[in-house]
Structure 1
Amino acid sequence: MSFHATRRPSSAKYLKAGAAAGAALLLGTALTGCAGSAKADSTTLQASGSTTVAPVASDAAEALKSRGLKITVATQGGSAGGISQLGLGQIQIALSSKPLSDKDRQAAPKTDYVPTQIGADAVGIIVTKQVADGGVKNLTKEQVKGLFEGTITNWKQVGGPDLKVFVYDKEPGRGTREVLDKFVYGTGTPPAPPQTGNFAIVGGNEETRTKLESTPGAVGPLSTGFIEGHDGLAAVSLEGTAPTPENVAANKYPMARPLFMITNGKPQGGAKDYIDYILSPEGQKLLTKHGYLTRQQMGL
């Protein structure tokens, strides 16, 4: 069973020019994350956050359009951005590829965050095919630490080709970054990024993938579902364990994570219909389509 699936662009629909001014303003708030309340009307929902969860959320929104439920899906600020927007009342559903933290809850103490796990995902340490073919098939925790802290600067230091390392790390608050930090540092605090010309911060998954593909010797953390069909990239094993569905489901792969849709209070109305659809057998097929594990695979 492959853990990857072909990607398709998000399919959130935009209101046509000439729609009522109030509806246009509402959609603008959802897509830009601007300050303001997200008191949607009875047929409009706003979801925003993780670029990992967004493809599933967008496909589900498209499927529900024929049932009269209009849903806008955005990725403003990744997981942390979605959680923040929910706390500010700007959206109805936060998309998150990281569990809620005490810090998240403390930032919006009046928000009753209720997470619903829709599936699971593996974060890979992704390298270019040139690096993988040159001998880098597996990395230890210490080697990953050395790469992202800038102490390993050439792939020959870890058994690979004589090629400079270029690191693309995720910005703070991204679910992918939190998974990497937990693997390398546990509960400790990661150091500041290295001051080197061979290190850059990136945002969403698609940006990360594009940067990795275009940079010789590149490495970065990325959802493994995003590299299907991209033959120039490869996910290495970590501590001898590959990011296969079996290893993720058995909690053997060290950089797996749950995927959530989060609401303020228990899901109700259209939000409940939306989440219930993703939890249904039909909706769960979207997880498989995008390279993620279903709730059933995770034993939920």
Structure 2
Amino acid sequence: MRLRIDLAYDGGGFKGWAVQPSLRTVQGELEAALATALRLPEVRVVCAGRTDTGVHARGQVTHVDVDPAVLEAAAGRAGEDRFLALQRRLNGILDADLRVHGVQEAPEGFDARFSAVWRRYAYRVADRPELLDPLTRGHVLSWRGPLDLVAMNEASRMLIGLHDFASFCKKREGATTIRTLLDVHWYRDADDRAVATVRADAFCHSMVRALVGCMLAVGEGSREPEWAGKVLSAASRDPAVRVVPPHGLTLEEVGYPPADQLARQAELARAKREHTDG
């Protein structure tokens, strides 16, 4: 049986998503908790998008394959729904900075990574002194002066579409930097903080933080909006583009197609990834 597990975490206490020897990671903590809850020697999970060190998630999605009998045996309380029971047990094992929001049987063909059609991130910035809240300092970037969101949105429009985002990605051997950026938009939230919402079919390493760094330079007036398009066209890392700190970034949501299209989407995405990533 394949389970879909939805989770959220404060990335400040993790060295990213992926398991690393002797380091605390989201994957490592979740897999250890699952192994304990299911009474198995080890468990392996697959996520929708690997987050970097310090990046948060409110809408991370994972899947894990388990024997139904094992799940039933671990249910615990008599008569309790086995999925709710697993969720309860996991949250009892995990530290408070990692929470499981849902456990359910995944539809046929579901793959947390390859079935996804988009990932949506948000980056939050406090750009005036009165917006600096000590209680949110671990999730919001403190910026040195007011930002022009109109200019930032003008710059954002030049980045939307299918492009080679090599200018905004940390290159990895054999991996493609071609992505489809579906939308980028800056707005003021209820607390008047500047928020960028960024949605794409997938992201390469440090891409969102580099995009935000580029747009912040425009927003503070040190660059014109057209500069974003010029950086993109160069298709190579520009040292003038600042990669902003990770703590302002949150994975908010992952989008999937209807259930009858999950397997096909996974097949297409896997074939594309194998072709472009070597």
TM-score (norm 2): 0.27
- Return the structure number with greater relative CO, CA threshold 8 A, min gap 6: 1
TM-score (norm 1): 0.26
